[in-house]
Amino acid sequence: MSIHKKCLVLLSGGLDSTTLAYWLKKQGYVIEALYFDYGQGQMNIERGCAIAIAKQLDISLHIVETPRPSDSLRNLTSSQGLHSSMDDVKLFGDVVGMCIMAATFAFVYRFDSIALGVDADNVRAHPTLNNIFFRSIEKLVSLWIGNKIRVLTPFLEKDKSSVMRIGARLGIPYGDTWSCGANIEKHCGKCVECLARKEAFKQIQLPDPTEYECYG
Ligand SMILES: [Zn+2]
């Protein structure tokens, strides 16, 4: 197997990153996974999902416990009255920080690429996180490390239901994934993430194995 096929997948335990991990493995990549634990409540469930997925894939899962950059900045931006207008900027900072940490890990442990499960729906919601952004991250990382680390985003132009069609063909156990943004023990069924999850299952006519608080 070529060393150029060794990839570190950023696995959140959600639909996209789980599909990405399965897909890359199917493509012949030698993969390991990296999970960022920011210490939030639902992260424990997400973390459990990431562990379960990694176990099913029989791959190593590396867990990084770290404050989210935007959480560290929250008090500052709130005190400046910038809370709502700064949301996209904070997300930008979080993704950049995550990519830099992942690329550093990838370089130290001799991976040739990192991979993120960003889909077209994510780009529509946050237009900054587009292909130009990720290619810029790739250039920045390579400039900084002095060695080419590719940043793979193969689902960037696919909407969530298209990504899940790939996953359905791969037989992914989506019941072991987590999407909800609410801090409760099962999917709330009402938040933006849950609604997108429900819609994706509906669109590809795949039975939704998720247990929701609200099925409406
Ligand atoms: Zn939810």
Q: Which of 1-5, 43-47, 196-200 has the lowest mean pLDDT?
A: 1-5
At 31 the three-state DSSP class reads strand
Q: Ligand 1 center to residue 200 CA distance, Å? A: 14
> Binning pLDDT at 50, 70 and 90, where does residue 215 land?
confident
> Binning pLDDT at 50, 70 and 90, where does residue 181 land?
confident
Q: Ligand 1 center to residue 214 CA distance, Å? A: 9
- Helix (H) or strand (E) holding 88, with range, is helix 87-108
Question: Domain-by-domain residue ranges, the chain?
Answer: 3-179
User: Which among 9, 18, 35 is positioned nearest to 166, based on CA atoms?
Assistant: 18
3-state secondary structure 142-180: HHHHCCCCEEECCCCCCCHHHHHHHHHHCCCCHHHCCCC
Q: Ligand 1 center to residue 195 CA distance, Å? A: 7
Q: Ligand 1 center to residue 179 CA distance, Å? A: 7
> Binning pLDDT at 50, 70 and 90, where does residue 133 land?
very high
Q: Ligand 1 center to residue 150 CA distance, Å? A: 33
For position 92, what pLDDT does the model report?
Answer: 80
More confident residue, 185 or 51: 51
Distance between CA atoms of residues 181 and 191, nearest Å: 7
User: Which among 24, 22, 45, 25 is positioned nearest to 35, based on CA atoms?
Assistant: 45
> Binning pLDDT at 50, 70 and 90, where does residue 1 land?
very low
Percent with pLDDT over 70 in the chain: 88
Q: What totals of helices (H) and strands (E) does the chain contain, helices first?
A: 8, 5
Q: Ligand 1 center to residue 47 CA distance, Å? A: 16
> CB within 5 A of ion ligand 1: which residues?
180, 182, 188, 191, 194
Q: Ligand 1 center to residue 215 CA distance, Å? A: 11
Q: What is the pLDDT of residues 9-49, one digit of tens each?
A: 999 999 999 999 999 999 999 999 999 998 766 668 889 99
Report the relative pairing of strands 6-10 and 61-65 from DSSP bridges: unpaired
The amino acid present at 180, given as its one-letter code, is C
For position 74, what pLDDT does the model report?
Answer: 65
Listed in order, strand segments (DSSP E) in 73-169 are: 113-115, 150-152
Question: Does the domain at residues 3-179 carry the CATH identifier 3.40.50.620?
Answer: yes
Residue 80 has pLDDT above 70, yes or no: no
